[in-house]
Amino acid sequence: MRLTYALVTPAKDEVENLERLASSVLAQTVIPSRWVIVDNGSSDSTPDVANALAAAHEWIIATSAPGTTTAPGAPVVRAFNMGRELAGQPDVIVKLDADVSFEPDYFGRLLDEFEADPKLGIAGGVCFELENGEWVPRYVTGDHVRGATRAYRTECFREIGPLPEVVGWDGVDELKAHVLGWRTASVPTLRFFHHRAVGARDGSRASRWLAEGRCAHYMGYGALYMLVRTVGRAGRDRDLAAFAMLWSYAAAAFRREPRYADEAVRRHLRRQQSVRRLPLRVREALGRR
């Protein structure tokens, strides 16, 4: 029997993006059982677009997330957790950002991956972004899955959820899944198109790097790996502001800010970041798996 899936889209000020996303969702060869659009404090007409979609299709639900929080990364996670409660009981639940699009067979092919591997807990496609008029891939390291189209097997999500309302949620959930025996993967032949650069809504370049540094400390990154990662990101992005990430990481350690409480998860992360694995991580970042 074919697996079912549902979508949850947190959306804030996403009028144009949401309309484009709707075109992609409605064109899917396998339609979701539900699509929950959660307005997350929009000041534009995003709720109107969501309500119009819900009125036109009985499997689409439009709602709003109550309250706000100043914690970085928390609003979108809170909206997703709320939408998940309205998504029913599909086999796969997808956190789907509003600023993406994809080909009509995207979710059909993604479900094929889940059907082929019962231990696949989290999966998604490869992110493509527009650069100099061409769509180019943005590769990730290890078994990381981009948060923009992150799909969870519901059985896996029950074991690792709810998602923590912190920056770094999209690393913590994967690590916890690994510790519990689940596999995570970005499907190399499956692509989606990201219409806004990663981090473009997160403020200045420096503030984004600072947030990443604190996130790395929270997750338990090792100091040597953090140094190598900073140098690599500064070179890849041609942005010396990336060194703010290392400074923020060190500052968080000096202040003894809290780290993710599950020691087993942190140990697993440190094993993944061991020195002998660094050449592999570099190849992965370059798309040479």
Domain residue ranges in the chain: 5-194, 205-285
Listed in sequence order, the residues at least 6 apart from 26 whose beta carbon sits closer than 8 Å to its beta carbon are 57
**Tens digits of per-residue pLDDT, 91-118?**
999 999 999 999 999 999 999 999 999 9
**Tens digits of per-residue pLDDT, 48-89?**
999 999 999 999 999 998 765 555 557 888 899 999 999 999
**Tens digits of per-residue pLDDT, 116-154?**
999 999 999 999 999 889 999 988 776 889 999 999 999
Give the rounded percent of residues in the chain with a pLDDT score beyond 90: 53
Per-residue pLDDT, 44: 95
Angle between helical axes of 243-254 and 205-219 (0-180°, round to 10): 50
Listed in sequence order, the residues at least 6 apart from 261 whose beta carbon sits closer than 8 Å to its beta carbon are none
**In this structure, are residues 183 and 117 in contact, taking their beta carbons and an 8 Å threshold?**
yes
Per-residue pLDDT, 273: 73
Query: Does domain 5-194 fall into CATH 2.102.10.10?
Result: no
> What stretches of the chain adopt beta strand conformation (E)?
5-11, 34-39, 60-64, 92-96, 100-102, 120-131, 134-138, 149-153, 183-194
Can you tell me the distance from the alpha carbon of 262 to that of 267, in angstroms, rounded to the nearest whole number? 9
Can you tell me the distance from the alpha carbon of 40 to that of 129, in angstroms, rounded to the nearest whole number? 24
Whether 41 shows a pLDDT value over 60: the answer reads yes
Rg (CA), the chain: 19
